[in-house]
Amino acid sequence: MLSKESVQFLDDLNANNNREWFLDNKKRYETFKKDYQQLVGNFLDVMKPLDPSLELLEVKNCTFRINRDIRFSKDKTPYKSHVGIWLSSGSKGNNRSGYYVHIERNKSFIAGGFYCPEAEDLKKVRKEIAFFYDDLEAILQEKNFKKEFGDFDRNESSVLKNPPRGYEKDHPAIEFLKLKSFEASQKFDISEVLKKDFVTTMSKKLIALKPLNDFINRAVTTDEF
């Protein structure tokens, strides 16, 4: 769980997203940062026994800096007013599928999978789907996954209009092969983060994504291409 003070800090930062206010509230930020790191540690304590691939992760591997990268963004606000937690066996320059927790007023959600993979990884995932689409179908139809996440997230930017190069339009897995991103998510109210069982509750939901993560990571770690 996060403290009420940390949630309030995020709300206040959202309303006062400028360097002057941030410097005036540096002590509040330091308190928030400790709370954030403790929350990540709690997730690791619960998730590691459920997914051994996370065993080597430390808190520093799963957190994000509060400073935004504004170099190529029209939005020049300097700070992130949300909490992000990323649990994955991947490393810098070595992307993998994983679990994500996003905490923000009116925009909180949990998610998992492989978000917008690079071209080489995307080809590997599609090849895995093409040959083992029955495995993927079984994963998406599994009771807990269906209950918590339903299906892959789909929108105009994440789905091709036409089949990808090298695949026929009548391929039995064509609707999966047209995806450019492979993630599933579930929204929740930010009030949930104040509950003592927040980490346990969300971890039980997230672990339903493990078979999907295993499937994708199997694809991107293969040497065959």
136-161 residue pLDDT tens: 999 999 999 999 999 999 998 899 99
pLDDT tens for each residue of 78-128: 999 999 999 998 765 568 999 999 999 999 999 999 999 999 999 999 999
pLDDT tens for each residue of 197-207: 999 999 999 99
Which residues have CB under 8 Å from 57's CB, separation 6+? 44, 48, 87, 88, 89
pLDDT tens for each residue of 15-47: 999 999 999 999 999 999 999 999 999 999 999
pTM: 0.94
| Whether 102 contacts 82, CB under 8 Å | yes
Nearest partner of 167 among 126, 118, 122, judged by Cα: 126
